[in-house]
Amino acid sequence: MKRKIGTALVAGAGISGIRAALDLAECGYGVTLIDRCPHIGGILSQLDYQFPTDRCGMCKMLPSIARDDSSQYCLRKGLFHENIEIRLSTEIISLEGEPGHFKVMLRGKPGLISHELCTGCGACTAVCPVEVPDEFNEGLSLRKAVYLPVPHAIPNTYVIDTDACTRCGACEEACPTAAIRLSQGERRQFHILVVDDELIVRDSLKEWLEDEGFSVDMAESGPEALEQLANCAYHLMLADIKMTGMDGVELLKKAKEALPDLCVVMMTAYATVETAVEAMKIGALDYLIKPFDPNALISMVLRIYQDFETGQGHLSDFGAVVLCGGAAYFNPAESKNPFGYGVLPNVITSLEFERILSGTGPCQGKLVRPSDGKAIRKAAWIQCVGSRDLQTDADFCSDVCCMYAIKECLLAREKAEGEIETTIFYMDMRTFGKSFQRYRDQAENEQGVRFERGRIHSVIQDKEDNEGNLILHYSDRGGALHDESYDMVILAVGQLPAAGMAELAEMLKIPLNPWGFAQSEPFSLTQTGREGILLGGSFSGLKDIGESVTQASAAALSASRVIHAAGGSQEIESDTSEYRDVSRDYPKILVLVCTCGNRLSASDPQEIVRELEKDPAVFHVEFLGQTCTAEGWDRLAGLAEKYKPNRILIAACLSYIYARKLRELARQIGLNPALTEAVSYHQSASNPRGSGNLLSLLRMGIARLRHADPSPVLSVPVCQEALVVGGGIAGMTAALAVADHGFQVYLIEQAEVLGGNLRWLQKTIEGYEIKTLLDDTRMKVEKHPRIQVHIRTRVIASYGQVGSFFTTVQDEEGLTHTLEHGVTVLATGGTEAAATSYGYGTSSLVVTQKELEQKLAEKSLDPKKLAAVVMIQCVGSREEPRNYCSRVCCASALKHALYLKSQNPDMAIYVLYRDMMSYGFAETYFTQARKAGVIFIQYEVKEKPRVKISDQSVYVTVFDPILGSELEIESDLLVLATGIVPALPEYIVTTFGASVDRDGFFQEAESKWRPVDSLKEGVFGCGIAHSPRSAAESVISAEAAAQRALRILSYKQLPGGKFTAKVRHSLCSLCERCIAACPYGARVIDTDSEKIQVNPVMCQGCGSCAAVCPNSASFLEGYSIRQMLEVVDAAFA
């Protein structure tokens, strides 16, 4: 493990928060990862499968180098990392200071259940009398007030929902380990003064608050209240504003004069809210509106009480803050058209449907309606609920709904084994991500998902039957009206800003966009207006996993830069412990069994001792009470000191807690930590604890220990320099990001100047000048002392592996030289695809979008002279062989259409499109263009427009679905959007050991979880070479790639994992099967020595090589076949 000076705060522990935290932690920074929820994982804890693989795979995000610093199991279950402190149910209260030196106040909710003591047995839940809707299942099922936030977490300890809990104390009594400490008694110490001139108000408040266990006094006037305040110490005063005599505001002033720290909440009628707001300015904490909602009142008082209990929180220092708060989801019940949601039981949201699909959901994964248990056989998805809807002030696209709707259709079809009709009602299918278009086509053509372009008018109960079926009333693409019956309607709900966004933004002084999401700086998706505070994931608008993860890594990079600039230098903590050499000693195992408060039956210990001591390797067996407590642990450590065993086995309820402690203990007694082991014997309903079970668990542990091999973790040396291929915006950004951390970078560009596509682009759709970005970046690159730019140079060949690549480059004169570098970033970019259709090349009246941009820039085209312009989108793209969306063309068309309209409002502009891909907040430009009078005509790929060209005009014929007939448009200019093709020569990719996808773009290791890595460690891809993207999107991908590269560069010696594959050469027949089986390319045959060699860093310990090797010449350290056979034997004994 290594630690750098410098720490970061990551707020939000969803997928992007986890990514940002891991990225920073892997570089050696200390990270505090917080979430206001009691669990990590964010929205993904509720989603089992993700598009476009329809699988999970989150674990692929776990560290691939220095793997032992982190947990290596299902990431949805939990995460441990040496450098990450996870604090749940925790929020930011305040932030002060400068970038690099922020002081942040964090406050956690008081934990009523001790995580150390809770064994997750569930006795509390069994006795809890309270039932409330379970948010994990989107309210489709009920849970108790004491509950597991997610059913699959590790460690899975119970929490108490303090709002729902009645403090009855039943759980406290039931808890076998005394982990629950309700503070019922302590609440009585919290004194509340209720001041109101109406008796009925006073009485009811007193009753409600006393029910909650608080001490309540009453006063009927201001002066009386002041008198009582003088006599008794109150923690909270609830004061009515409108009272005769001294009013509430005056009372507040006087009370605050005498008791400045007193908490005061004003009570007001709706009409005097403004007065209440004024009161807050002079010291009132909050206000309540009459008539009271008792629940709101109680939860406010509870909040104040909790704040009182936890004090002011903890003040910590952080160099940078990454905000990964995610997004919230639209509630259709609040919409102007709720489509029956909340009224008709079989209208549900997409999130609710995800829970129905889930095995941990309310229907145990069966595809049935929760309302009546009837199998779902005909389901409709309604898109854009809460998105692209001006009536709900949602002039944005939520980016992910089209794709998750397709995914839900496919999952439903799989679950129903095809016995289901699935229809998606949509406006535009926004399949703009890499591989998404093919995913959609496959769903439509091979899986039978029906895509219906249309608008839903309403959803009503089907009167014809009594089974709860629904009638969808909709208009199709041509405007014709239809009624169709469905047994389930799923609303694809869009994004909302995360709860509390406005308050957080105000506190942190960061700007919001018009829809309340965090606003980023021009050309950056991660920079807020405030340096050192970064945006990760969906906090600035909903994103799919791949983009969230990319943005999170980019945010981590920017955070790291700030910390580095503020002096966060590297300081490696090397493990210099000397261990006893026990390799030649016969195993001497000390077995320690935690009795967990004497809950093993009395006869067990003797039987277990008798059985285990038959094994000559078992030296001593001892039973101890509660080793999880400090006292218990001391006793345990004492035994280890006393007996000096050469192996230690501990059996306890939550073995993973012991991993770290055991390592410390081992160091204490000079024993290699690899010779210690903890086994988990966990009591649950499905696994009742018994001596037989415990015995076999212990035997398995003994078997593992007997053959444990304490050989040291291998490492490979790192050349701490980077090669970046391609000098466009992505390459320059990546080079700067790495060089700013003090590492040498070689930037290779084949053109004469740096800049790539930025050299012809003018402005973004938002109106930002591209030239500013180009000049600024180019200047920084050219002046950077750690960047060596090689222009007019190309890569010839490379060999090597992570940490040490040798790459030969050649300049224009043919001179070659070889560079050594530890990592490679491929940023070779791409270009506009060549146009070959619609008469392109036969007339100057047909141009591409790029040419239009250039002509407008050099003013060779006068918008005033154009009467009509036609733009055709998706020219040669989104159909085979170029079946992908290029993302930027719709925005370009909108940008140019709006510009032309601004120059010549009388110009007629027709945009012929298939699906407008104005995703995210670019949707607003689509709206503006329609408002400006641009005509959008949708065409189908099988009915493409036809073009006829004369000397003066281009005649475009297209079928208009709304008119239901063909139109012939006479125009002065035809603009073709041809999309993007990569400029990534395959030989370059393969020479570095990476690969290209079927469209010639960089093939990432995994599109969602490792979006900029290649499967070959140490090679990264970004920018357009990776996939079509805008300048800002290229920047984040480059920053993400740089961050991933820095993980490696920050080591001089890159450590592999403890569980790494090795070869016993004397047994090896050199059949090379293991080389074919290794998915990470970690194995090569050295033909000189005739040996198979394993790169210990690239090896991920998956064991594929060991599985294909027939005689175990190839084996996985820590899982040797001998050991495993004995473990299996013990398990079945």
Partner 1 sequence: MAKTAQIDVKAQDIPGSLRGFLRSVLESGDIRAILVPLHLPMKNTVMPALVSDPERLKDADPLAPAFPMNTAKVVSRLTHKPSGGKIAAVLRPCEIRAFVELVKLKQGKTDEIVIIGADCPGAYGNRDYLRFVAENGTESTMKFYRDSLSGKDSEKLSSACKSCEFPVPEGADLLIGLLGSDTEKQVMIQALTPKGEELFGKLGLSESAEPPGRKAAVESLIARRKAYRDKMFAETAQSVDSIGKLTAYLADCVNCYNCRVACPVCYCKECVFVTDVFDHDPSQYLKWAERKGAVKMPADTLFYHITRLAHMSTACVGCGQCSNACPNDIRLAELFRTVAYRTQKAFDYEAGRSLEEAPPLSVFREAEFAEIEGIK
Q: Which positions touch partner 1 (CB under 8 A)?
A: 54-55, 414, 614-617, 1066-1073, 1076-1077, 1079, 1107-1108, 1110-1113, 1121-1122, 1125-1126, 1129, 1133
CB of 153 to partner 1, least distance (A): 22
Ranges of H-type helices in 669-769:
691-706, 729-739
- Exposed, middle or buried, 841 (CB in 10 Å: 0-12/13-18/19+)? exposed
Peptide bond into 52 cis (omega under 30): yes
Taking the mean position of all CA atoms in its chain, how far away is CA 218?
49
Beta bridge partners of 971: 954
Query: Nearest approach, Cβ of 1071 to partner 1 (angstroms)?
Result: 4
The residue type found at 1083 is R
Distance in Å, CB of 1073 to partner 1, minimum: 6
Chain-centre distance for alpha carbon 160:
26
Choose between 278 and 414: whose C-beta lies nearer to partner 1.
Answer: 414
Which residue is listed with tokens 């939550």?
654
The CB-side HSE value for 967 (13 A sphere, CA atoms) comes to 18
The answer for 385, left when phi > 0, alpha when psi is -120 to 50, beta otherwise, is beta
Q: Which of 589, 642, 646, 647 is nearest to 615 (CA)?
A: 589
Cα gap 236→714, rounded to integer Å = 61
* DSSP class per residue in 474-506: EEETTS-EEEEEESEEEEEE-EEEPTTHHHHHH
Q: Closer to partner 1 by CB, 587 or 1056: give it.
A: 587
Tell the smallest beta-carbon distance from residue 1054 to partner 1 (Å).
Answer: 26
Q: How far is the CB of 44 from partner 1 (least distance, A)?
A: 18
Query: Between 958 and 1130, whose beta carbon lies closer to partner 1?
Result: 1130
CB of 444 to partner 1, least distance (A): 20
Q: Which residues contact 128 (CB under 8 A, 6 or more apart)?
A: 144, 145, 146, 170, 171
Smallest gap from Cβ 61 to partner 1, in A, equals: 19
Q: Which residue has the tokens 């475009």?
A: 956
State in angstroms the smallest separation of the CB of 438 from partner 1: 15
CB 993 to partner 1: min, Å: 17
- DSSP readout, 761-806? --B-TT--BHHHHHHHHHHHHHH-TTEEEE-SEEEEEEEEETTEEE
Q: Which is nearer to partner 1, 299 or 696 (CB)?
A: 696
- As measured in angstroms, the least distance from the Cβ of 1108 to partner 1 is 5
- Measured CA to CA in angstroms, residue 990 lies from 44, 579, 937, 1014, 1061 at distances of 34, 44, 43, 11, 25
Smallest distance, partner 1 to C-beta of residue 443, A: 16
522: number of Cβ within 10 Å: 14
Q: Is 438 left (phi over 0), alpha (psi -120 to 50) or beta?
A: alpha
Calpha distance 974→559 (Å, rounded): 46
In the complex with partner 1, which residue's Cβ is closer, 174 or 1085? 1085
- Closest approach of Cβ 871 to partner 1, in Å? 39
Nearer to partner 1, 834 or 1076 (CB): 1076
Give the Cα separation of 352 and 361 in Å (integer).
Answer: 9
Written as one letter, the residue type at 175 is C
The CB-of-649 to partner 1 minimum distance in angstroms stands at 17
**Inter-residue contact 1016 to 872 (CB < 8 Å):** no
Q: Which is nearer to partner 1, 971 or 1104 (CB)?
A: 1104
Q: Decide whether 133 or 1079 has the Cβ nearer to partner 1.
A: 1079
* 634 versus 1129: smaller Cβ distance to partner 1: 1129
Q: Measured from the CB atom, is 660 or 1122 closer to partner 1?
A: 1122
Question: What phi and psi, each to the nearest 5 degrees, are found at residue 9?
Answer: -110, 125
Number of neighbours of residue 186 by Cβ within 10 angstroms: 12
Q: How far is the CB of 1004 from partner 1 (least distance, A)?
A: 16
Indicate the residue among 865 and 1064 with the shorter CB distance to partner 1.
1064
Give strand ranges (E) for 659-731: 676-680, 715-717, 721-725
CA-atom Rg of the chain in angstroms: 33
**Nearest alpha carbon to residue 352 among 325, 385, 324, 326:** 385
Minimum CB distance to partner 1 smaller for 696 or for 762: 696
- Report DSSP state, residue 972: S
829: alpha, beta or left, given left = phi > 0 and alpha = psi -120 to 50?
left
CB of 1076 to partner 1, least distance (A): 4
Q: Given the complex with partner 1, which of 55 and 948 has the nearer CB atom? A: 55
Q: How far apart are CA 206 and CA 202, in angstroms?
A: 6
Question: Smaller CB distance to partner 1: residue 634 or 1090?
Answer: 1090
Question: Min. distance of Cβ 356 from partner 1 in angstroms?
Answer: 16
For Cα atoms 519, 525, 531, give the angle at the middle one, nearest 5 degrees: 70
* Complex with partner 1: residue 92 or 1068, whichever CB lies closer: 1068
Nearest distance, CB of residue 1128 and partner 1, angstroms: 11
Please, which residue, 327 or 618, has the CB nearer to partner 1? 618
What CA–CA distances, in Å, run from 881 to 441, 885, 995?
A: 13, 12, 19
Q: Is 1084 helix (H, G, I), strand (E, B) or coil?
A: strand
Taking the complex as a whole, how short is the minimal distance between the CB of residue 414 and partner 1, in angstroms?
A: 7
User: Of 127 and 1071, which CB lies nearer to partner 1 in the complex structure?
Assistant: 1071
Backbone angles phi, psi at 790, to 5 degrees: -115, 100
Q: What angle do CA 995, 1001, 1006 make, to 5 degrees?
A: 65
Residue number, 363 or 501, with CB nearest to partner 1 = 363
Enumerate residues 6+ apart whose C-beta is below 8 A from 271: none
